[in-house]
Homo-oligomer: A and B are copies of this chain.
Amino acid sequence: MLSDMAPRTTASRAPRKTADGGSEARERLLRTASELFYAEGIHVVGVDRIVAAAGVTRATFYRHFPSKEDLVEAYLGVEDANLRGMFDAAQVATDDPVELAGLLIDGIAEDVARHHTRGCPFINAAAEYPDADSGVRRAVGKHRAWFRGSLERVVSALGSDDPVTRAGQLVLLRDAALVGGYLDGWDNVRVAFVGAARQAAGLDPAH
């Protein structure tokens, strides 16, 4: 269903740049690869599959990405940017720390239920990249450090005791929600997650 998309009209074959300067082929590659990597895993998805699904040739692929691993890192970069975007949106939406914390927890739940039904892209990637020094693992570490730090700031603004531990618990719970949603079904996880997360944040457990 993904491999046989875009017969690609022969009419659009030139260096079409996209609005923000990137090339169209590059964006199609990145978007297609992101879907495939997330849905199926990284090592199982070969370059052939990616270029076929993106309607691009191997030569074009290697013009935009020096190697497959660079594409993997770009994929994680997209996921990272998405989550940062969600955080920013929530922070713009309210000034009240309590409301912000509730918004973030609900946003995470919403995201797990609707978009990330195959687990956490970073956890899944890390499962396939055991070398902690690899570029992929460094990207994972950077993302997680940012996420943890952001939560610490949010929890601190709540004025609760031991914000570091509480933020750590929220990190744990989001990981678990993503994993559990994938392997046990979101319906079996939702209640446990929201309850535990609100408690960890120091919010009134009621919804």
Whether the pair A130, B39 counts as a contact (CB closer than 8 A) is yes
Q: Which of B141, B148, B189 contacts A172 (CB 8 A)?
A: B189
Q: Which of A19-27, A103-111, A190-198 contacts B (4 or more CB under 8 A)?
A: A190-198
Residues of chain B contacted by A200 (CB below 8 angstroms): 196
Query: Is A113 close to B, CB under 8 A?
Result: no
A180 to B168, CA, bound (A): 9
Residues of chain B contacted by A43 (CB below 8 angstroms): 41, 43-44, 128
Q: Which interface class (under 10, 10 to 19, 20 to 34, 35 or more) fits A?
A: 35 or more
Task: Considering the complex, give the chain B residue whose CB is closest to the CB of A124.
Answer: B127
- Measured CB to CB, the closest approach of chain B to A168, in angstroms, equals 4
Whether the pair B127, A184 counts as a contact (CB closer than 8 A) is no
Number of copies of this chain that the complex holds: 2
Whether the pair A172, B177 counts as a contact (CB closer than 8 A) is yes
| A175 and B169 contact, Cβ closer than 8 Å, known pairs A118-B130, A124-B127, A196-B196 | no
Query: Is A65 close to B, CB under 8 A?
Result: no
Query: Is A199 close to B, CB under 8 A?
Result: yes
Residues of chain B contacted by A50 (CB below 8 angstroms): none
| A195 and B40 contact, Cβ closer than 8 Å, known pairs A123-B127, A140-B183, A148-B184 | no
Query: Is A171 close to B, CB under 8 A?
Result: yes
A119 to B175, CA, bound (A): 12
| A165 and B191 contact, Cβ closer than 8 Å, known pairs A123-B123, A130-B39 | yes
Query: Is A126 close to B, CB under 8 A?
Result: yes
Query: Which of A122, A183, A193, A199 has its CB near the most chain B CB atoms (within 10 A)?
Result: A183
